[in-house]
Structure 1
Amino acid sequence: MKKKIRFSLVYRDMWQSSGKFQPRKDQLARIAPVIIDMGCFARVETNGGAFEQVNLLAGENPNEAVRAFCKPFNEVGIQTHMLDRGLNALRMYPVPDDVRQLMYKVKKAQGTDITRIFCGLNDTRNIIPSIKWAKEAGMIPQATLCITTSPIHTAEYYSAIADELIAAGAEEICLKDMAGIGQPALLGKLTKLIKTNHPDIIIQYHGHSGPGLSMASVLEVCNNGADIIDTAIEPLSWGKVHPDIISVQSMLKNEGFDVPEINMNAYMQARALTQEFIDDWLGYFINPANKLMSSLLLGCGLPGGMMGSMMADLGGIYNAINKLRVKKGEAELSMDDMLVKLFNEVEYVWPRVGYPPLVTPFSQYTKNIALMNLLTIEQGKGRYVMMDDAMWGMILGKSGKIPGEIAPELKELAVKQKREFTDVDPHTLLDNALDGFRKEMKDNGWECGQDDEELFELAMHPEQYRIYKSGMAKKNFLADLQKAKDAKLGTKLSVEELAAFKHAKADALTAPVAGQVYYEFSGEGACEPCLEPFVGQRYKEGDTYCYIQAPWGEIVPIPAALGGKLVEVAAKQGAKVRRGDNLGWIERDQ
């Protein structure tokens, strides 16, 4: 018999890759014992990524949810693990050192054993400080290689990074195939290289199912020395999520590996509970497209988990592009035509911005550049006209070292716009911030919480935490849920929703995603207060009208349609909007 393979259930990421919400504390507490009864999991992913923001925005305390979910696993010796984004920790933009350091103390106290530390650029400077802080807090640091396929990202390239991270104290390595586009042969070769150089290092493979390579990749990494495989369970497995435990276990068992048996009665119970959570409320926020696999993802390399938001963004400029085409006497495009154009544009842009692995937030930045290019190309203005500071920050090196070379045209554009490239260590650009947040807690009469976990929540997710503490998060969430239920049941639209169709001579600008409206954006993840636009203000084709900061942190620029005169502002500065809400109306010049 071949070596023993262990399994991990990525229950948090199952939901994250399907929609932008998570089960409630009571639901997590109900399913944890059933997962234990399945008897096949050595590890369970209990938090990380957008888990905490979405819980806050649903009006629930994520610290209590993490503790409740971890406790049953801690008691039976099943290891718990979390995902953290290195420099960005648990959010979409950089986090000061003192807040990052506190995170590991808080998460260890809450019952999380292992932290999976990654940098979307594989810049070790963004990972190594977290390895040190995790070890100091008593956590197991699992350093991560973000897998993609490009001329630069060879097995030898990744193996050298693994060597550096292990020398810095990483006790495990995760191969994070976040888009599922890692070629099986490369993943097998990389696993063997790492195991040859570091035979005692645990290797865990995390591969999404999106384009369909993940099962072949699982077999390759196991045959070359991997120790642990991330899996999912129905009804959220496959699609843009992860392979199902039953299929993975069956394949590896028949290959001769020593794998644990599955208690199928418990599996069916966990399956039924997960479906119950979907039917209860989470299903209203799951994009049906995320249940489907798509080989189209192989070409553009985008992670399947962001397909939902990408389609919403594409819908936001779909009408604008077709109106331009009609104006020029050209045929309108279908949504499939637009999707292919977007994928092709991502393929064009990606090498020119230096092949950043397409994982949060760099997948969003690269997609946004491509999306805005589609509009400005249609306008006859060419590419790279509508890039905000966040997109430029990636290109200029402010988030870390770009793996490849930036294209000459972008270097020339940077010089023209007086932008400077940098190779500075990104975390040195940030000042410590805990003292200011501690003062805010005191001024508001808020408790810092057990093990300073409430202080941590404010410091890590300030916007979401303040809304949660105000009580508005729960009210807003319940309103969003009712609207989603009404839409699914075909309830008659309200007077407010019908207002979207007024102003016959004007184009209604609608929100492609839910979030908070800003009329200026400074980049580096920060939106700034400013004056709202005024009625009568004029816009040119392709100008940015506003920005929406989504609940999970992504910044989405909203183009001002075909330009013209602003006739009404529907969303105030800082307003919370839902997907489909009106932001304003712009009357085109006749």
Structure 2
Amino acid sequence: MKKEIKFSLVYRDMWQSSGKYQPRIDQLVRIAPLIIEMGCFARVETNGGAFEQVNLLYGENPNKAVRAFTKPFNDAGIKTHMLDRGLNGLRMYPVPADVRKLMYKVKHAQGVDITRIFCGLNEVRNIIPSIKYALEAGMTPQATLCITFSPVHTVEYYTAIADQLIAAGAPEICLKDMAGVGRPVMLGKLTKAIKEKHPEVIIQYHGHTGPGLSMASILEVCENGADIIDVAMEPLSWGKIHSDVISVQAMLKDAGFQVAEINMKAYMKARAMTQEFIDDFLGYFIDPTNKHTSSLLLKCGLPGGMMGSMMADLKGVHAGINMVLRSKNEPELSIDDLLVMLFDEVEYVWPKLGYPPLVTPFSQYVKNVALMNVMSLVKGEGRWTMIDNNTWGMILGKSGRLPGKLDPEIIALAKANNFEFTDEDPQSNYPDQLDEFRKEMKDNGWDVGPDEEELFELAQHDRQYRDYKSGIAKKRFEEELQRAKDAELSNKGFSMEEVKKFKRAKAEPITAAQKGQVLWEVDVKSPSMAPEVGRMYHADDTFCYISTLWNTFDKVTANFNGRIIEVCAQQGANVNKGDVLAYIERVEETA
């Protein structure tokens, strides 16, 4: 019998690789016991990356979400792990050092055991400080190698980086094959090279299934010494996401490895509940193409999780590009034509920009440059006319050293713009800021929270946190969800009247108990306008008042938890007994 291979469920990444959002706090709390009951996971990825930002966009407290989701796993002895972006912390752009230090103290206190630290450039100067901060906070730092396929990303290149990260104190290494383009044999050789030199170091493999190489890659890394494999589960496995635990377990068991058994009854329950979350609202934000594998991803090397945003970009410029082509009497392009053009342009742009591994945020930078180039070329203009400041920061060295050499054309363009290259430690460009955020919290009367977790959220995601505190975020999300629901019905060819009927069919009417005038809101002395679609009511909330002929104000309560989907009586409207005031769709109480 060969060595034991453990499994980690990347529940957060399953959602992030599928669409825009993730489950709410109440949903995460419901799924956790079933994940535990499955009995096959030594680890679960609970947060990190865009997790906290998504909570803020919902209008939910991300700190409560992390604590609530990690607790059941902590109690069950299952290790939790998060994803962090090194210099960028949990966001898409650099974070001051004092904010980075606070992050590990906060996340450890919230119940997160392991932090997977990566830098999109594999820049050790961005990773090593985070290893130190994590160790000081009591977390396990899992240093990460971002895997891609290019002439410069060799086994020797990666093992040299791994040596530095292990020497800096990392007890674990993750092979992060974010686009699934790592070639299986190369990944096996890399695993073997690290294990032979550092047999005590744990190696965890994270591979997306986009181009279809992941199962071969999993087998190769396991045959060469890997310890833990990241897996997904239906209905969010395969496609651009991750291999399913059932298939991985069967393959490794047949190969002679020791693997945990799967409680299939619990698996089917968790599968059904995850589908329930999709049907509830998350499916409105999942691009169906993310459920498809595509060999085209081998050509461009872009992560599968980017396909949704990339297709949205293409659809956004499609009409404009064809308008330009028509004006030049040239044949129009289909979306597929544009997709192939974009892939070809990424393949052209990438080496000229120094082969940055195509992972957040550098995959976005390369894709954006390629898209702008395609648009310029269609117009008959030259390349490189539209490069944003973040991409220039990468080119100039502000994010760290690029793996490959910049093309002379790009260097000349930088000099023509009077830009200066730098090789300074990237962190030196971003001075400490926590004191500024402490002052803002004090001025606003905001509590810094236990373990200063609220301070951390403001410092990490200042714009989203302010929107969360003001209530704008929740309102914006509810409006976005309603638009998505309406758009789905409209796309199916239904008229607005039919859409209204569908919405009413899933809702319950709130009616007037007697004749009178409708006064919305609780302050009857200063009544305001009718509530907006998407507004949440709880069972005991005052829905409105009916002003009667006898100068009484009869209170109408919501009676159940729900969101407004249609308002039928405007402020001041005269209604008769039994008239519908509004329709509310029932929702479960959220944490």
TM bucket normalised to smaller: 0.7 to 0.9
RMSD of the TM alignment (CA)? Answer: 0.9
Distance in 2 (CA, whole Å) between partners of 1:380 and 1:285 is 35
| Aligned residue in 2 for 1:349 | 349
Q: Please tell me the residue identity of whatever aligns with 2:361.
A: P
Distance in 1 (CA, whole Å) between partners of 2:278 and 2:311 is 22
Asked whether 1:433 is paired with 2:437, we answer no
Distance in 1 (CA, whole Å) between partners of 2:99 and 2:474 is 26
Deviations 1:41-82 (A, max 9, x none): 000000000001111001111110110110011011100000
The correspondence of residues 519-538 of structure 1 with structure 2, limited to 5 A, is none
Please give the secondary structure, in 2, of the residue aligned with 1:127.
helix
Asked whether 1:7 is paired with 2:15, we answer no
Aligned-pair distance for 1:7?
0.2
| Aligned residue in 2 for 1:121 | 121
Distance in 1 (CA, whole Å) between partners of 2:361 and 2:415 is 25
Deviations 1:495-522 (A, max 9, x none): xxxxxxxxxxxxxxxxxxxxxxxxxxxx
Please give the secondary structure, in 1, of the residue aligned with 2:173.
strand
Asked whether 1:106 is paired with 2:106, we answer yes
Asked whether 1:55 is paired with 2:46, we answer no
Aligned-pair distance for 1:489?
2.0
Deviates more, 1:471-480 or 1:343-352: 471-480
Aligned-pair distance for 1:392?
1.0
| Aligned residue in 1 for 2:421 | 421
Q: Please tell me the residue identity of whatever aligns with 2:413.
A: L
The correspondence of residues 328-343 of structure 1 with structure 2, limited to 5 A, is 328-343=328-343
| Aligned residue in 2 for 1:168 | 168
| Aligned residue in 2 for 1:23 | 23
| Aligned residue in 1 for 2:522 | none
Please give the secondary structure, in 1, of the residue aligned with 2:93.
coil
Q: Please tell me the residue identity of whatever aligns with 1:422.
A: T
Distance in 1 (CA, whole Å) between partners of 2:160 and 2:328 is 52
Distance in 2 (CA, whole Å) between partners of 1:39 and 1:188 is 28
The correspondence of residues 191-206 of structure 1 with structure 2, limited to 5 A, is 191-206=191-206
State the TM-score, normalized to the length of structure 2.
0.83
Q: Any unmatched runs of 5+ in structure 2?
A: 498-591
Q: Please tell me the residue identity of whatever aligns with 2:44.
A: V
Deviations 1:98-130 (A, max 9, x none): 000000000000000000000000000000000
Distance in 1 (CA, whole Å) between partners of 2:381 and 2:208 is 37
Distance in 2 (CA, whole Å) between partners of 1:406 and 1:188 is 30
State the TM-score, normalized to the length of structure 1.
0.83
Please give the secondary structure, in 1, of the residue aligned with 2:252.
helix
The correspondence of residues 437-586 of structure 1 with structure 2, limited to 5 A, is 437-490=437-490, 492=495
| Aligned residue in 2 for 1:362 | 362
Please give the secondary structure, in 1, of the residue aligned with 2:47.
strand
Distance in 2 (CA, whole Å) between partners of 1:334 and 1:32 is 43
Q: Please tell me the residue identity of whatever aligns with 2:398.
A: K
Distance in 1 (CA, whole Å) between partners of 2:204 and 2:250 is 18
Distance in 2 (CA, whole Å) between partners of 1:133 and 1:252 is 36
The correspondence of residues 127-526 of structure 1 with structure 2, limited to 5 A, is 127-490=127-490, 492=495
- Change over 3 Å in CA distance of 1:159–1:334 after alignment to 2: same
Distance in 1 (CA, whole Å) between partners of 2:421 and 2:314 is 30
Deviates more, 1:383-392 or 1:130-139: 383-392
Distance in 1 (CA, whole Å) between partners of 2:159 and 2:148 is 14
Higher CA-based Rg: 2
Aligned-pair distance for 1:268?
0.3
Distance in 2 (CA, whole Å) between partners of 1:123 and 1:493 is 53
Q: Where does structure 1 differ by over 4 angstroms across 4 or more consecutive aligned residues?
A: 491-494
Q: Please tell me the residue identity of whatever aligns with 1:389.
A: N
Please give the secondary structure, in 2, of the residue aligned with 1:128.
helix
- Change over 3 Å in CA distance of 1:492–1:454 after alignment to 2: farther
Distance in 1 (CA, whole Å) between partners of 2:310 and 2:324 is 21
Deviations 1:326-360 (A, max 9, x none): 11111001110000000000000000000000000
Aligned-pair distance for 1:492?
4.7
Deviations 1:511-560 (A, max 9, x none): xxxxxxxxxxxxxxxxxxxxxxxxxxxxxxxxxxxxxxxxxxxxxxxxxx
Give me the identity figure in percent: 73
Aligned-pair distance for 1:313?
1.0
Asked whether 1:65 is paired with 2:45, we answer no
Distance in 1 (CA, whole Å) between partners of 2:328 and 2:276 is 51
Distance in 1 (CA, whole Å) between partners of 2:435 and 2:22 is 31
Please give the secondary structure, in 2, of the residue aligned with 1:143.
strand
Deviations 1:383-418 (A, max 9, x none): 000111111111111111000010011111111110
Q: Please tell me the residue identity of whatever aligns with 1:302.
A: L
Q: Please tell me the residue identity of whatever aligns with 2:157.
A: Y
Aligned-pair distance for 1:380?
2.0
Deviations 1:131-153 (A, max 9, x none): 00000000000000000000000
Q: Please tell me the residue identity of whatever aligns with 2:80.
A: T
Distance in 1 (CA, whole Å) between partners of 2:297 and 2:198 is 33
Q: Please tell me the residue identity of whatever aligns with 1:328.
A: K
Please give the secondary structure, in 2, of the residue aligned with 1:234.
coil
Q: Please tell me the residue identity of whatever aligns with 2:377.
A: I
Q: Please tell me the residue identity of whatever aligns with 2:111.
A: G
Aligned-pair distance for 1:493?
6.0
Please give the secondary structure, in 2, of the residue aligned with 1:216.
helix
Distance in 2 (CA, whole Å) between partners of 1:147 and 1:492 is 48
Distance in 1 (CA, whole Å) between partners of 2:408 and 2:27 is 52
For these two proteins, the number of residue pairs brought into alignment is 494
Q: Please tell me the residue identity of whatever aligns with 2:449.
A: G
